[in-house]
Amino acid sequence: MNGFMYKVARFFQGRYGIDKLFYGICGVAVVLSAANLFVRSLILQLMVYAVLVLAVVRAMSRNCQKRYEENMKFERAFGGIGRKFSFWKRKFADRKTHVYIKCGVCKKMLRLPKVKGEHTVKCPNCANKFKVKI
């Protein structure tokens, strides 16, 4: 078994591997596959296979610079979605203990403890002071 694992490790040396675009492509394949459950189309199933082959070929590629550039383009285009989702997730988890308020000047989101009453808040980004009623 040791010799086999060594050969597998040698095969993967210099390969690009898995990145966020890989997960995005696999997500597209899952969505297409779910759509195919209802439509039952051979063309749609072939598209799923083609997308999965594309993901594996990208992961096994030795042209790391090109794959890195593709991943950066993907992250620039769709990276904001992940950040917004993680913010909504954190906001939902903190809903009982904290409240999120935007600064009126710099639009920075401030996380404040959820204590009833009127409070004076100083923005750490622009030093603007404003009153907040919670």
How many domains would you assign to the chain? 2
Residues 1 and 65 in one domain: yes
Residues 121 and 101 in one domain: yes
Residues 106 and 75 in one domain: no
pLDDT-based confidence at residue 2 (cuts at 50, 70, 90): confident
Residues 88 and 107 in one domain: no
pLDDT-based confidence at residue 1 (cuts at 50, 70, 90): low
pTM: 0.70
Residues 72 and 108 in one domain: no
Higher pLDDT residue, 83 or 75? Answer: 75
pLDDT-based confidence at residue 24 (cuts at 50, 70, 90): very high
Residues 102 and 81 in one domain: no
Residues 68 and 100 in one domain: no
Cβ atoms of residues 130 and 121 within 8 Å: yes
How far apart, in whole angstroms, are the C-alpha atoms of residue 63 and residue 108?
40
Residues 27 and 78 in one domain: yes
Domain that holds residue 125: 94-134
How far apart, in whole angstroms, are the C-alpha atoms of residue 67 and residue 78?
16
Residues 56 and 37 in one domain: yes
